[in-house]
Chains A and B, each alone.
Chain A
Amino acid sequence: KIPFMVPECQAFVEEFEGALGKGKGRKLYAYKVMMAKKMIKFNRDFDNFKTACIPWERKIKEVESHFGSSVASYFIFLRWMYGLNLVLFAFMFGLVVLPEVMMGLPYGSIPRKTVPRAEQDRAMDISVLLDFGGYCKYSILFYGFYNDERTIGVLQFRLPLSYLLVGVGIFGYSLMVVIRTMARNSDEGGDGGDDGQFTFAFKMFTSWDYLIGNPETADNKYASITTSFKESIVDEQENQKDENIHLRRFLRVLANFLILCSLGGSGFLIYFVVKRSQEFANLDQDELSWFEKNEVEFVMSLLGLVCPPLFETIAELEEYHPRIALKWQLGRIFALFLGNLYTFLFALFDEVNAKLEKEKSIRNATIWGLNEYYSNYSSYHNTTDIPPPDIHPADVIRGPCWETAVGIEFVKLTVSDIQVTYMTILIGDFLRAMIVRFLNYCWCWDLEAGFPSYGEFDISGNVLGLIFNQGMIWMGAFYAPGLVGLNVLRLLTSMYYQCWAVMSCNVPHERVFKASKSNNFYMGLLLLVLFLSLLPVVYTIMTLPPSFDCGPFSGREQMYNVVMETIENDLPAFIGNIFTYATNPGLILPAVLLMVLAIYYLNATSKNYQNANLELKKKMQMKTDRNSNKKSSLFSIGKSLGIWPKI
């Protein structure tokens, strides 16, 4: 409560504040106090400013009051992703793209930055540009454009080093942010482990969502609370009598088998389609239809659309409790996306290896041609001071540049993913709502109450889609620096588009969903996806040799050699020594062992704490039982002696 005496209290404190400082240091003390007060006021103003800077607060609040906190949690997650991608974009743009654009060589000056002569007459066609060929391919969007000079421009900016460090730093920063958010979430989450200890009390005291401001949502909430009360009462009363446990087990095994089959089928389909696209790439581009050119992306998005409902129907065989069924469903969708992505990657690796083979022969041809030119020139002009061959950059023989090809694949995948998502919302939600609303006047049954009715917002599907999209961005950012910028735009438009779609075409859920426990679950998934997308990138940096004529690492044996060169040439000698010692396996293995032991120790400690917790609870229970027994026995004794006064 705000006390009404506050002005008097404040005046008193201010009057006697100086007197609180002792003797000599009075002036210094008063000064310190004044600075502390100013600091507090500054902190408060800064907090106010920070809160005012958070975008889309009104929009999310509106969604929240209509649909409850669980749907809004998706939009909060989307906003968080947008912030993360904005920072990644700032890194990529400021440290890689901008220096190359401002201080590097312009378009057309060297072979890797110019469209080859053979492709030039088609380089501006819309169909080629939409496929990210032509001028798109030889632009800052992709890896191949960047030059491999050690330092560029007036500032002696080391672009190759920066490219490598930013590529790896993107993962480091994302990891840090995700773990920090997870730690913060788990802090306020409380002990979620006691599932079922307070079911009824929680339903009573914590089920109402005070952010609901819409009467229709409130009615829905009433209905769902009542249903959940009745369900829990029935659950508590009935014993788990399994009519036929063998049948249920058989059905569950059957369902899992079917789902494994479909997962395997989808993986095989993707592999087959990617192999076919490699064959298509060798044919003349004009003879292929749009479908054949974009087959891979089309098939992947289609699988992502069709399989989850398929899994849900198969899961009906299993007859699990809805919460457990949901966990299985999420796990299966996760496995589906993962399997698809990794099959795609493996197929891509085959393509990369094929390109590397081709590159060897082209590289040999180029070196042989150059040697021929030198020997001819020196024998013709009789000098040793030979100028570089005077060939227009567009005519030079080019290697296949596998990194740019990989980058193009990822960009095409992302773009098709965006298209499919937006189309699904447009058709699945908007068109459906229009049909239900307008055809209802002349239809035999009530479209709004029965099939198909308005759509509900699919939280888990959307969140998983967002997480996997981010995984693709993480994988592709190293090969296509422009991909992160594309994603930022996509998230921005997604926010507005989905907010509009949800407010105009969706209805609140019938079964209300608890978002909070799932929050860390989704963050955990994001972390897993981050690790899984780190693996291919690190593998390629460490093992695959870079193309010899494109990108910032061209001409080197391995990509990470840039770091070694920098250490040798630019940093003082002793740092080189430190690195040599640090990368010694004799040092790394004990470090890994130490970390494993630390994890084991922490695990054991936390188990001990949990046990101690349980013991204390039991003791408390016993103590109160004993007390209440004492109380009731004292009471009955007192009553019989007539001591207690009449109430």
Chain B
Amino acid sequence: MGTTASQLRKDLLSEYQELTFLTKQEIILAHKRFSELLSKEDRNVPTPRVPMEKVLSLPELKSNPFRKRICHVFSTSDMKDGSLTFEDFLDLLSAFSDPATLEIKSHYAFRIFDFDDDGTLDGGDLEKLVNCLTGETDDTRLTTEEMRQLISNILEESDIDKDGTVNLSEFQHVISRSPDFVSSFKIVL
């Protein structure tokens, strides 16, 4: 077992403080939680990566319907497998922290909702989004007719240039009018 996983170096700590919205205690706590997720062999690797399944076991993410998308968005892995290094993890916490600005949150929210990673939210993305929100069981899903109606209503509200998709600026325009977004788009360890 040995001592607790390598302590965070002081210079790295101050660097992380400057580059993220997190406070010192939050970064130290994040490091502790991240080290708990690492398997024994990975601990001595210079930049360890935690596989997606382990990240999804965190209680803060376990009940979130967008957990897989969150991992994919913040992951810098070449294999696109959603695994996170510690810096990716800090990135995630910083974007979801309280002092993060509306632009940053809406930017990441857009990328999370963009299921096919094509830079716009088209009908398919919106449909997958609604299915995530309405839960897994069959009796909570919407019927195809309701789904069609819902998506056309949304596009009518948010699609300003009427191209059938919601791009980043239209999305940010909608989000900036919402009073609840900043307070609900938060994850705290």
Q: Chain A: residues with CB nearer than 8 A to chain B?
A: 1-2, 6, 41, 44-45, 47-48, 51-52, 61, 65, 69, 188-192, 194, 197-202, 204-215, 217-219, 222-223, 225-226, 229-230, 233, 236-237, 514-517, 620-621, 624-625, 627-628
Q: List 16 A-B contacts (CB under 8 A).
A: A61-B188, A197-B157, A198-B158, A204-B126, A205-B175, A206-B175, A206-B181, A209-B184, A210-B184, A213-B59, A218-B63, A218-B65, A223-B140, A226-B133, A517-B180, A628-B162
Q: Which residue of A has the minimal Cβ distance to B188?
A: A61
User: Is B8 on the interface with A (CB-CB < 8 A)?
Assistant: no
Q: With a CB–CB cut-off of 8 A, which chain A residues contact B184?
A: 69, 206-211
- The interface residues of chain B lying within 8 Å CB-to-CB of A214 are 63
Chain A, residue nearest B85 (CB): A2
Q: Which residues of A contact B176 (CB under 8 A)?
A: 190
Given contacts A211-B184, A219-B135, A222-B140, contact A206 B178 (CB under 8 A): yes
Q: Is B90 an interface residue (CB 8 A)?
A: yes
Cβ contacts under 8 Å, B20 to chain A: 2
A516 close to B180 (CB less than 8 A): yes
The secondary-structure label for the interface of chain A is: helix
B19 within 8 A of A: yes
Cα-based distance from A280 to B140 in the complex (angstroms): 62
**B161 adjacent to A624 (CB under 8 Å):** yes
B157 touching A516 by the CB < 8 A rule?
no
In the assembled complex, the Cα of A357 lies from the Cα of B183 at a distance in Å of: 58
Query: Assuming A48-B23, A223-B135, what are 14 further A-B pairs, CB within 8 angstroms?
Result: A198-B158, A201-B158, A201-B174, A204-B129, A204-B130, A205-B113, A208-B66, A211-B187, A213-B60, A222-B135, A223-B140, A225-B133, A226-B133, A229-B142
CB distance from A189 to the nearest CB of B (A): 5
A146 to chain B, nearest CB (A): 45
* Size range of the chain B interface in the assembly: 35 or more
Bound state CA distance, A199 and B178, in angstroms? 10
Instruction: Kindly list chain B residues whose C-beta atoms are within 8 Å of the C-beta of A236.
Output: 149, 153
- The chain A residue with its CB closest to the CB of B26 is A51
B-side residues, CB < 8 A to A, are 14-17, 19-20, 23-25, 59-60, 62-66, 76, 87, 90-91, 96, 109, 113, 126, 129-130, 133-135, 140-142, 146, 149-150, 153-154, 157-158, 160-163, 171, 174-188
Given contacts A6-B15, A236-B153, contact A210 B179 (CB under 8 A): no
Q: Is the CB of B153 within 8 A of A1?
A: no
Tell me whether B140 and A200 are in contact (CB under 8 A). no
Residues of B within 8 A of A191 (CB): 177
CB distance from A34 to the nearest CB of B (A): 16
How many angstroms from the CA of A29 to the CA of B159 in the assembled complex?
A: 52
Residue of B nearest to A202 (CB): B178
Q: In the complex, what distance in Å separates the CA atom of A217 from the CA atom of B64? A: 11
Complex alpha-carbon distance, A198 and B176, angstroms: 11
